[in-house]
Structure 1
Amino acid sequence: MTHSKKYIYLKYTIITALLSIAFITNLSSQQTPAERLVGNWYFDEVSSFATMDTRSRTQMDTIPQLKSQVLNSYRGRRLFISQDGSCSLALANGQTAVFSWSLANDGTLTLTNANGTTVQESVRVLTPNRLVLVPSAKGNARSIIAEQHFIRQ
């Protein structure tokens, strides 16, 4: 059984491509979680609002103005995380908040503003294209959204 040169070349090209993909995937998996966190993240409102608890959802549905206000405060958010330890949260209305950030070994992301106020969130999911943050509850205060989903773009 003989194969044409064209067949052998095609087989060689496919094998080379598969090995290249495996090598690149292996390199990206060797990044630390902090390195994978660096990038531009866009708020995924559909996935995020799906995590809202029933009580909050019911309350928002009964007060349309509140619902609109809450949706608009989250919609269009962009989180920019830099390798130098700085990050910014840009809102759809043009406002931007600047923070420094650090990531602990347990997956706790700490954001610190210029006044020294800190916010902590748990990194629940961190893949090359998806970030899910769970806001830390303090006392009776809790976020209306249980998980903030972001997509890398």
Structure 2
Amino acid sequence: MKKFKKTYPIICIYSVLFFLTLHPIQSQINDSDRIVGSWFFDSESSFAEVDREVNDFMEANPQLRVKMQSAYTGKTITFLANGAYGQVLGDGTRASGEWYIREDALFIKSQNDVVYTFQFKIQDNKLVLTTVSQNRESKSVVPNQYFTKI
């Protein structure tokens, strides 16, 4: 019994240290693993956050609004474990490329070698992609894109 009383605290300390060192490794693996799969665009949530200036412009140009909404509504994106990326817009337009995660950012490289940068958050079966603007002159029409895993 005395031996158990002496070794029990040591076992507890080693167990805590083991789990603390495992946590950062586990969180890095989770982001890449959890993003793999297909995601369906949530148009209601995404369009609700469109900038007022963009919304006013779309109101003044209804044909452009319809074209934009038809492209985004029904959009699916797919991240494969091997780094391949695919996208099908609501109007059937397809695109492919590569994806990778580095320093808490998601990078998508198109077939034309254009790299798009996103901040991302995954919670349960929900994904939010926030466009990182490369310069101050350009603005994303839908800055926060909400997706549900399918």
Instruction: For residues 81-108 of structure 1, give each alpha carbon's deviation from its aligned partner in whole angstroms, at most 9, with x where no partner exists.
Output: 1111111011122221111110113x21
C-alpha contact (below 8 Å) 2:70/2:91 kept by paired residues: no
Secondary structure of the structure 2 residue equivalent to 1:76: coil
Secondary structure of the structure 2 residue equivalent to 1:115: coil
Provide TM-score, normalisation by structure 2.
0.76
Provide TM-score, normalisation by structure 1.
0.75
Secondary structure of the structure 2 residue equivalent to 1:134: strand
Cα displacement (A) at 1:80: 0.7
Instruction: For residues 32-70 of structure 1, give each alpha carbon's deviation from its aligned partner in whole angstroms, at most 9, with x where no partner exists.
Output: 111011111000000000110111112211221121111
Alpha-carbon separation, structure 2, partners of 1:43 and 1:147: 11
1:89 aligned to 2:87? yes
Provide the residue aligned with 1:61 in structure 2. Answer: 59
Provide the residue aligned with 2:139 in structure 1. Answer: 142
Equivalent of 2:118, from 113, 121, 126? 121
Give aligned-pair identity as a percent: 27
Provide the residue aligned with 1:21 in structure 2. Answer: none
Q: Which amino acid letter does the alignment assign opposite residue 134 of structure 2?
A: K
Cα displacement (A) at 1:30: 9.1
RMSD (Å), alpha carbons: 1.8
Provide the residue aligned with 2:19 in structure 1. Answer: none
Secondary structure of the structure 2 residue equivalent to 1:66: helix
C-alpha contact (below 8 Å) 1:131/1:149 kept by paired residues: yes
- Unpaired stretches in structure 1, ≥5 consecutive residues: 1-27
When the two structures are aligned, how many residues end up with a matched partner?
Answer: 124
Change (3 A) 1:62 1:133: same
Instruction: Answer 1 or 2: which has greater helix percent.
Output: 2
TM superposition outliers: structure 1 runs of 4+ over 4 Å = 28-31
Alpha-carbon separation, structure 2, partners of 1:67 and 1:113: 25
Cα displacement (A) at 1:75: 1.1
- Unpaired stretches in structure 2, ≥5 consecutive residues: 1-25
Equivalent of 1:49, from 16, 30, 47? 47
Cα displacement (A) at 1:31: 5.1
